[in-house]
Amino acid sequence: MVGFLTAASVLALSGPASAASTLGGAAAAKGRYFGAAVAAGHLGESPYAATLDTEFNAVTPENEMKWDAVERSRNSFTFGSADQIVGHAQGKGMKIRGHTLVWHSQLPGWVSGLNASDLRSAMNNHITKVMQHYQGKIYAWDVVNEAFQDGNSGARRSSPFQDKLGDGFIEEAFRTARAADPNAKLCYNDYNTDGQNAKSNAVYNMVKDFKARGVPIDCVGFQSHFNSQSPVPGDYQQNLQRFAALGVDVQITELDIEGSGSAQADNYRRVTQACLAVSRCTGITVWGIPDKYSWRASGTPLLFDDNYGKKPAYSAVLAALGGSGDGGGGGRTCTVSYAETQRWGDRFNGQVTVRAGNSAISGWTVTVTVRSAQSVSTTWNGSPSWDSSGKVMTMRPNGNGNLGAGATTSFGFTVMANGDWSAPTIGSCTAS
């Protein structure tokens, strides 16, 4: 009997029930990945790495694999920051999207100065050297990025590649890429191609032509950067479906949606549902983890707030993926904010405000991590417990756990600075 209970509890811990409480786990249960764009410079921030490792099972280096990062001068390659992300992801068994080989932006000046024949060899050399460096490690490469103009012309965008090599540069890039790493999926990636319009029609026609002529292409990336001027299109799913019908995978590659609250959550839900409804939609990548590190942070477009709290959009995505809907809180969420409220010669007071999300909550848990020199001398309005280092305090309510939707409470503490006046790191809020 004891043996039976032990086996059952192991199953309960490692089976689908626990997997489905994270974005990556829930996506995996649907045969898909859920990724995030990652910046190497943030990996040392512990809540950043913890959120990445817990929630995501795929990464895209946000800038570290771009031409200006890896080949700043001709045929001299520097892979340090990109390798850091790849190493981290591999250590956690995550898929890696390579971004991006041929793009008009973040292109070093020496490339645009080349004549046509030098540019052709530089492009092919770049693709070959970068892909070979990561051979066998990359799930899919954005071989060519953003080669079409906005607007209703469906024309190619002017770039050194387009202007000097002509329309054939995309085909040449894909053929070179296939030879460099035959196991990586090769994608074309663009924005404002998320619904049916002149630009997406032009990409569609290119992919159709490539498939008809046997030019190697495996996938199309839909960046999906949305805001009120550029909302999720009504025909988003149909658009993904028509590309899939050409015989390529489709991926949502740079998802972010400006806004907040339930409106933002509804849009994220629609995008997630659209991907799940298209069998060849193999995964979703959000373009960053907490709002504060977004390329457009003021639009708060991501799934985690500045303190790594799960936003309503997070719960909507998790629920749409068939996960537990809330990370274990039964629809309940909370967020936190921090302020230093007082300072003396040797110490300061910190205050953490806990805010309930769209539903009432009956409990909350927040971690506070102080620097190695610092120590917490006293706390109030909360019930603390400590890890063995004495630097990580887990705070739970002390009679202030019941909060109506949107209501707040706060707890406080005094930090002995010992020369380090840095603010503590406040972890995400978990509601119950």
Shortest distance in whole angstroms from residue 222 CB to ligand G3I: 11
CA distance 135 to 141: 11
Report, in Å, the least distance between residue 340 CB and ligand G3I: 27
Closer residue to ligand G3I, CB minimum distance, 191 or 411: 191
In terms of Cα–Cα distance, which of 288, 259, 283 is closest to 271? 283
Compute the distance between CA of residue 412 and CA of residue 426 in angstroms, rounded to an integer. Answer: 12
Note whether 307 and 297 are within 8 A (CB). no
What type of residue sits at position 201? N
- Using the minimum distance from each CB to ligand G3I, give the nearer residue, 55 or 64: 64
Q: Using CB positions, name the residue nearest to ligand G3I.
A: 295
Contacts of 339 (CB under 8 A, 6+ apart): 350, 351, 353
The active-site residue, picked from 71, 254, 258, 340, is 254
- Write out the residues near ligand G3I by the rule CB under 6 A: 62-63, 105-106, 191, 223, 254, 295
Cis peptide before 100 (omega within 30 of 0): yes
Q: Smaller CB distance to ligand G3I: residue 67 or 191?
A: 191
Q: What distances in angstroms separate CA 334 from CA 230, 327, 330, one per listed residue? A: 29, 12, 12
Cα–Cα distance for residue pair 170/161, rounded to 1 Å: 9
Our answer to whether residue 254 is catalytic in this structure is yes
How far apart are CB 105 and ligand G3I at their closest, in Å? 5
Q: Cβ of residue 355: shortest distance to ligand G3I, in angstroms? A: 28
Query: Do the beta carbons of residue 354 and residue 372 sit within 8 Å?
Result: no
Contacts of 352 (CB under 8 A, 6+ apart): 336, 337, 338, 366, 368, 395, 410, 411, 412, 426
CB of 328 to ligand G3I, least distance (A): 31
- Residues with a catalytic annotation lie at 254
